[in-house]
Chains A and B, each alone.
Chain A
């Protein structure tokens, strides 16, 4: 396969930051500028500060970043949720909880230059990486930001995610959940 997956952390350990930044700048996405901007400007910093982990698919022929995903550990504010919902999210009754830990798929997408249908592979890989964490540290669910577009929401639904916000036209982003348990 032409595309190979590399953890950004491994690349940073191997070579200079400037070389890595050159590789990251080969990623372009006009449809989703946030996706592009995160990789260009924040991914390395967040990796170094322990905030998130980014994984890159690199075209080994052209040496370009064709797709990537970023995952992290986050927390969900639950204080205003009903007792029943907190019990579902936490696994047992606890009314004093304010926040709950969760896994987050913060970024996921492919470059404009990527001609392959790589979305499913990318998402599966992101989930596999999180599942490794789930086996090591446990956890109950994964959250994801999906662009509020019928095609994108359906894609995530086909892969086990469920929207947890109303699909209101005015919303740019819809949060979706994937249950690990």
Chain B
């Protein structure tokens, strides 16, 4: 929404306090974008040679 982009700060209602806590518990059961596939990782084999 344009208003949310325009405002420098997002203000949520009080009810969000409880819902944020619940969302954090629920997050593991949610289907999410695979972070590992999104980013090209460095070759770190040299670490084993230290």
Chain A residues within 8 Å of B, Cβ to Cβ = 34, 37-38, 42, 46, 51-52, 70, 72, 74-77, 80-82, 84-85, 88-89, 99, 102, 104, 106-107, 124, 127-128, 131-132, 134-135, 143, 145, 157-166, 173, 175, 177-180
Contacts and interface: CB of A to CB of B under 8 A. Distances in A.
* Chain B interface size, under 10 / 10 to 19 / 20 to 34 / 35 or more: 20 to 34
Interface string B15-50: 111011111101100111101001100000000000
B26 A162 contact: yes
Given A124-B33, A145-B1, A164 B19 contact: yes
B34 to A, nearest CB: 9
B12 A178 contact: no
Contacts of A81: 16-17, 20
B12 A165 contact: yes
Nearest to A75: B9
B21 A166 contact: no
Contacts of B14: 80
Nearest to B23: A162
Contact of A85 (B4, B8, B20, B38): B20
Contacts of A76: 9-10, 12
Nearest to A145: B1
Nearest to A161: B30
Contacts of B8: 74-75
Nearest to A146: B1
Given A88-B21, A161-B30, 12 more contacts: A51-B5, A70-B5, A106-B4, A106-B5, A127-B33, A145-B1, A145-B4, A160-B30, A160-B31, A177-B23, A178-B32, A180-B35
B11 to A, nearest CB: 5
A72 B9 contact: no
Contacts of B12: 76-77, 164-165, 175
Given A85-B20, A132-B38, A173 B1 contact: yes
A108 B28 CA distance: 24
Nearest to B37: A128
